[in-house]
Structure 1
Amino acid sequence: MMKWTSSFGLGVIIAMACGVVQAKDEGFYVGASLGSATIQQSGSDPDIGDFDFDENDFAWKIFGGYQFNGLLAVEGGYVDLGSPSSSGTKVDPYGLDLFAVAGIPLGPVRAFGKLGGIYWDSDLTDSGDKVSDDGFDVAAGVGLEFELGSFAIRGEVEYLDVLDDTWMYTLGATITF
């Protein structure tokens, strides 16, 4: 009896896990998110001298991707990190990102993590002097997504190695085709 009960219990758990993995709609998706970016940068430049910058501003992004199954996706998009300013210094960064996304479906909620890179460009203006910088750096994030069929609401936190240290906090939506 004990062996049958254990086998039945294991079968129920496997069946539930298989159904959960299939919960996320597969295919192409698009989305948009709004939120805030916190940008930190310090350094020295011959034109503007020493500077230390730690501010936040309104940020947004548009993105798209392909969901291979309930677990794996690839995603890319455009990110505008706002134009925060402080004491006459203004930073204006934006970029294009690309991520591998891994998710764990838990019924209608899906936890996900992503790892990839961002090509970014930024202008730093201080008292009229402008310095431009760009690069390709690491990007990573974690989030939760609440799925309602092909529509989903997502919240996420992303670390972007833009300038010295950039964090982006957003709330958005996706639709899968």
Structure 2
Amino acid sequence: MMSKRTGLAVMVGLALSLASTASFAEDGSGWYFGVTGGEAKAADLDQATLDAIVLDSFESNGAQVLSGRSTLDDSDTSFSLFGGYRFSEYFAVEAGYVDFGSFEYRSSGVVDPIGPPPPAPATYSVDFESSGFTASALGSVPLGSSFDLHGRAGILFADTKITESASIGTASARDSYSANSQDLFYGIGVGLHLAQHWSFSLDWQQFKDVGDDEETGESDVNRLSLGVSYRL
């Protein structure tokens, strides 16, 4: 049977442990991880510019464009995974992975090829895809006990891939190329904290000049997302 002295020691130890846990939670420090989902938009993709490039490409190869139409989808569903360490309620560092989805340009029409072949239907399409790992620093300003306003800045280690395909009549060609780049990003957001472990956030971020200017071209990518995280 446990003696009173032993029981008192256990109770004191438990109280000290709970006090330490409460202090840790109040300080806000510790490891956390989470996931976000939202929409990414390529800010610098322009349909008229792409139309002009396609028109010049066909005509420079001797195919006169008789008619055509095009579409540009410059946004897509985006997700990210992240983990970090919060040193206090004011400062944290994070590492993660973000996927911006795919941005798509499509065009079709009728061209008159060089030589004896009659006019024929033609198509051109290009997909822009980019994803990569991130490293960032996060600064927060508490707004009461449940909310915060935060900002972040970091670097994206991007892998950008371009896939192109073109056809005239029954003849077609396809090619793809990619490039790696290191691109700065920054953002702002607001967080909601529930109990000691769960947090939700709404964030806007801009990733600057994603891609390589010579290999894939560059574009700023804006991202709006909702996220949930769990603090250990």
Bin for the TM-score computed over the shorter chain: 0.7 to 0.9
Distance 1:171 1:144 in 2: 10
Moved over 6 A (4+): none
Q: 1:61 is aligned with what amino acid?
A: S
**Match status 1:144 vs 2:190:** yes
Distance 2:154 2:81 in 1: 16
**So what's the TM-score if we normalise by structure 1?**
0.78
Gaps of 5+ in 2: 1-24, 47-51, 55-71, 107-124, 166-173, 211-217
Higher relative contact order (CA 8 A, sep 6+): 1
Distance 2:78 2:138 in 1: 21
Q: Which residue of 1 aligns with 2:86?
A: 67
Contact 1:154 1:172 (8 Å CA) reproduced: yes
Gaps of 5+ in 1: 1-21, 44-48
Which of the residues 26, 31, 35 maps onto 1:28?
31
Query: Number of residues paired by the alignment?
Result: 150
Q: What value does the CA root-mean-square deviation take over the aligned residues?
A: 2.0
Distance 1:81 1:24 in 2: 34
Q: Which residue of 1 aligns with 2:168?
A: none
Aligned pairs for 1:20-169 within 5 A = 25-41=28-44, 50=53, 55-87=74-106, 88-107=125-144, 108-127=146-165, 128-148=174-194, 149-161=196-208, 162=210, 163-169=218-224
Contact 1:35 1:171 (8 Å CA) reproduced: yes
Give the structure with the larger strand fraction: 1
Cα offset for 1:59? 0.3
**So what's the TM-score if we normalise by structure 2?**
0.60
